[in-house]
Amino acid sequence: MARRKAKLKILPDPIRGAATEDGPLRSAQEADVSLTRAELEELWQPETLERLARAYWRFLETRSLHALKVVYGPNDRSVVLVSPNLTLLRFRAPNFDRGPGFGRVTWRIERGVLVAPEGRGRGFLRFDVRRLGEAEDGREHVRVRIEVANFYPMLRGSGKTARFGAFFYGQTQARLHRWMTHGFLRSLASLDFPELRPERQSAYD
């Protein structure tokens, strides 16, 4: 699968997510992927959504030169910085939703040093994949959207420092997330998704 190459176009961010001094933040990035009908039918399987999710966590690790690591627990997964003792973000187990022409996976953000206390258990990371049908070039088109919503960043702070904190967050963490997400979306052109862990494969057999 890695030898194939899809056409991919990064779209303008539908939700830019400007940092504010209070309240939850939201941002989203999108890309259109164009591939042959045979490639799409091969990939459009129930387990592919979970493989796409694993590809994202793998990308975080490799793009950060493994400074970021993803630790899988029985009912959660955590993004840690170098050591498991420094959890940046902890997510609850993913929720998968599928229907005709679409698939969606959502991770509820539980906690972590990047999450303000008032935001624990409230925000989420979501992937949404939708078939757009056949285009004029005869290829099948799929839109992939990655969204973070209802997120309360610890970096923003509160009170008198929130104005500067919102600016600092927008120039650092928000920019890094957008850069990482666009990089991952571009990587989808390879159509290279990791296989499921053996204990998860049985769920699709």
CATH number assigned to the domain comprising residue 58: 3.30.530
Domain presence at residue 89: yes
Environment class of 122 (CB within 10 Å of its CB; exposed 0-12, middle 13-18, buried 19+): middle
Q: Answer whether residue 140 is part of any domain.
A: yes
Under 8 Å between Cβ of 100 and 106 = no
10 domain-assigned: no
Residue-level pLDDT at 1: 39
- Phi-psi domain of 6 (left: phi exceeds 0; alpha: psi -120 through 50; beta: other): beta
Number of CB atoms found within 10 A of residue 1's CB = 11
d(CA 46, CA 52): 11
How confident is the model at residue 176, as a pLDDT? 94
Contact residues for 146 (Cβ-Cβ < 8 A; gap 6+): 28, 29, 30, 56, 125, 126, 127, 128, 181, 184, 185
**Residue 26's pLDDT is what?**
94
Nearest to 125 by CA among 166, 161, 88, 160: 88
Compute mean pLDDT per 10 residues along the chain, 205 residues long, and list them: 76 86 93 93 91 95 95 92 93 94 96 94 96 87 96 91 91 94 96 83 64
Tally of domains in the chain: 1
| Residue 205 maps to a domain | no
Please tell me the predicted confidence (pLDDT) of residue 202: 60
Distance CA 2, CA 18 (A): 36
With respect to residue 199, please indicate whether it lies within any of the assigned structural domains. Answer: no
* Assessment of whether the complete model's pTM goes beyond 0.85: yes
| Residue span of the structural domain in which 189 resides | 23-194
Q: Report pLDDT for 196.
A: 83
Query: Looking at residue 203, what is its pLDDT?
Result: 65
